[in-house]
Every structure is written in structure tokens, then in C-alpha cells.
Amino acid sequence: MWKKTTIAACCVLPLLLSCADPGTRTITWAVGKDPTGRHQALVDAFCRRHPGITVKLLEMPESSTAQHDAYVTHLAAADQSIDIYSIDIIWTAEFANAGWLSPLGGHVDTLQLKEFLPGTVAGCRYRDTLWALPWFTDAGLLFSRADILSESGSPVPKTWQQLETAAARLGAKHGMTGYVWQGQQYEGLVCNFLEVLWSCGGDLFDSTGRPSLDSPEAAQAVAIMKRMFDGNASPPGVLTYKEEEARQLFTGGQAVFMRNWPYAWALAQDAAKGSAVTGRVMLSALPAPAGRGPASCLGGWNLAVSRFSKNQADAVALVEHLTSFEAQKDFALNGGRLPTRSAVYADGEVRRAYPHFEQLYAAFRTARPRPVRPDYPALSDEIQLGLHRALAGNVTVAQALRELQERLMRMTSPAARRERGT
């Protein structure tokens, strides 16, 4: 425990905001690395409205997997030093089941909850209790170089085969990488896999809750991903990429296509932040096999109050501020984050700045969530490992899926669930 706590602490960079006089109440917010540059501005606005409260930001690792492990270390130790956690949408059930979060239902009325996108609220509930509020949402999208497609007379790829072919051809023609995505062994790889799997008509679990990675659809999905490397559409380096590695390559003008979350759009349009592709990017749904519809993984982050916090009321106030209409509008306009409140999408200023939000709004209402179950993070760790081995060519696709299916069957057995208390 001591070793893990030390590692987690070394990953955290405290930033004390000077928004109140010494001696006032202090609340601490643990949040992932900020590619938008807006976290401090958001808490500054809160502190101006609450001069008796000081907010301290703890910047956590960029990787969601590393962030999860650091959070578990703090929460399992009943750490009282952190009041608010920004949590991935997939962690709500796990953290709530462990008894680490404070329920928020008593602080938020039903009318206010109806102002949020339904899927984002669902990701904050576990066993009919509200444990968090939706902060910003995400869904996987395909980013394309509009100028390159136009010049070559190529349409936006609608199928995975079209994407593979166009990425390899246009990348070679322009001396660029074809298609970049998130292939490192972490949660982002599972999101990419699910989008391909769902588009093939498969799923991680069947209607009874049984793992279903022994299906033809799962084999087809992994084969599609591996062909991106075999067909020279994606470089081997993708297996080390998270969101920012892919984004920096694309906005640096070195890739034709990219799968990423919508935050990358604002950075792609900002020459001041180093984008070499301003005004030359288009967004579209991800591809699918011929004859099937596309699928997108619902992402996003929620804000939860630690059960061990000694500042419950102040922490709830900050959560409500960060998820308010005003804060979400600011985060959208200045940070490119996608709102969880429906009204922000209809705001005139937001629509003028981001006309593509109208298209994204429809995508977010149909994006699919990952399984809502307390054991999902542990299952995801196994899936990440098995997928990465297959994509790297260390084992065959068939062997990787066979071993994954066997492992997931053991992990989800009634005996294993009783042992975990789930």
C-alpha cells in the first residue's frame, strides 16, 4: 500500500488558487490533466462568487487508467484530503458500490436533472441513486483533412475498408500518416474497440450478462483493427498513442484521418495553440462495415463528492457550479468541451462558434455507454491486455479472443462476483 500511495502522490501536481484570503475554507478537486487550459478559469469564477472558499486543484495523470489507479489508492485509504473527484463515466458503479461517494440526489431536484442529456445522467446513477453530476460528454468521431479529400476527389470514408484504403493511399501520396487513433494499452483502446465491435453488430456481453468475445462479430472487429496496421493505414506507433499523441500528430498536419473525442476540434481550429490544419478539418461519424450503421462510444466525465470529505456542502456547491449552464457554456466556447446540458447546444453564441454542435448533439443522444457494472474496470484491464497483444502481433486474433473469453467467464462467474461483493 505504501508503494502505491507514493506513486500516486508523485503523479499529482497541486495548484493552489489565490481566490480567497488565508484562513478561509479550502476544498480540493482532483482532476485529470487539462488540455483545454480552462480548469483554473472555471474555479476562479466560483471563487469570485464564494469569497469564503479556496479551491485547490490536484492535477492527475493524463491516462484515465493511471488516474483510476491513483483515485482507488486515495479512496480505499479513506483519504480526507480530496473533496471532489472528476470521474470517468465508467467508474460510477465501481466507486459507489465500494461506498466511496456521497449521494447527490438530495441536492439536485428532478427538474434540474431533466436539463441534462439523458445518457449522461444515466452514467451518474447506480442502483437508482445519483452519485455524481455530468460535467462534459464525449463521443468518438472521425476527423478528416477536408482539403486533402477535396483535392483527391475522395469522399469521407463510410466503411472501415474505405478508411483503410484511403488512409494508406493518401498517407503515402502526401508523405503523411494515414489514420491515427488510440491504441495504447489503456481504456481508450477499449473505446476504439467497442466502436468497431458495435458497428459489426457485436457486444461485450449478451442479454444474460455472459461475455461474448467468442462471437464472429468480435473476431471481425479485431481483424478490422489489425488490418489498419497490416494494410499500412496506421503506423505501429499507434499502439503507444493516447488521445493527445494522436491529436498532436493530426493537428500538426501529419495525419489524414483521426479517431478522437470532440475536444480535438477546438484545438484543430486554433493556430495560436500550434494547429497547422485550421479551417481544413471536417467531422463525421465513424465508419462501419458495409450495410451496417456506425456506432460511437459515449465518453465524458462526471463530478463526484468523496464520502470522506469534511467539506460536503462546499464540495457540492463547486460541483453544481462546474455543471451549471454558465460554466458549461464557458467550457464549450473556450475549451471545446461538449456540454451535458441540452440548453447549451441551443445557445446562439455557442452555435455561432461551433456550428457542428448541432450535428454532434444528435450523435450524443444515440452514443452507446460502456457496461454499467462495478466490475467493469477490472474487466477492461483484461480486455486492454488481450487486444494489445493481438494488435501487436504477439498472438493471433483467434487466440487472443479465446483467452479473453475464458478469463472474462471466470471473472464474471457467480463465485467471483460473491467474492467481490457485487
Residue 182 has pLDDT above 80, yes or no: yes
DSSP for 213-258, please give it: TTSHHHHHHHHHHHHHHHTTSS-GGGGG--HHHHHHHHHTT-EEEE
What is the per-residue pLDDT for 21? 52
For 65-118, write each residue's pLDDT tens digit.
899 999 999 999 999 999 999 999 999 999 999 999 999 988 888 778 999 988
Q: Return the sign of the alpha-carbon dihedral for residues 363, 243, 125, 312.
A: negative
What is the C-alpha to C-alpha distance for residues 251 and 253, in angstroms, rounded to an integer?
Answer: 5
Residue bearing cell 437508482: 128
- Angle made by CA atoms 110, 25, 125, in degrees to the nearest 5: 25
Work out the burial of residue 241: count CB atoms within 10 Å of its CB; fewer than 13 is exposed, 13-18 middle, 19 or more buried: buried
Mean pLDDT over the full length of the chain: 90
The helix-helix angle for 376-391 and 216-230 (nearest 10°) equals: 50
Residue 9 has pLDDT above 80, yes or no: no
pLDDT mean over 155-175: 98
Residue 168 has pLDDT above 50, yes or no: yes
What is the per-residue pLDDT for 23? 55
Domains 2-138+299-354 and 141-295+371-422 share a fold: yes
Ordered by start, the domain boundaries in the chain are 2-138+299-354, 141-295+371-422
CATH annotation of 2-138+299-354 = 3.40.190.10
What is the per-residue pLDDT for 20? 42
Share of the chain above pLDDT 70, in %: 92
What is the per-residue pLDDT for 2? 31
pLDDT mean over 55-63: 92
pLDDT band for position 17 (cuts 50, 70, 90):
very low
Q: Which fold has domain 141-295+371-422?
A: D-Maltodextrin-Binding Protein; domain 2 (3.40.190)
Integer Rg of the chain from CA = 21
What is the per-residue pLDDT for 108? 85
What is the C-alpha to C-alpha distance for residues 211 and 410, in angstroms, rounded to an integer?
Answer: 10
Tell me if 146 sits within 8 A of 200, measured CB to CB: no
Q: Buried b vs exposed e over 144-165: b needs ≥16 C-beta within 10 Å?
A: bbeebbeeeebebbbbbeebbb
For 308-326, write each residue's pLDDT tens digit.
999 999 999 999 999 999 9
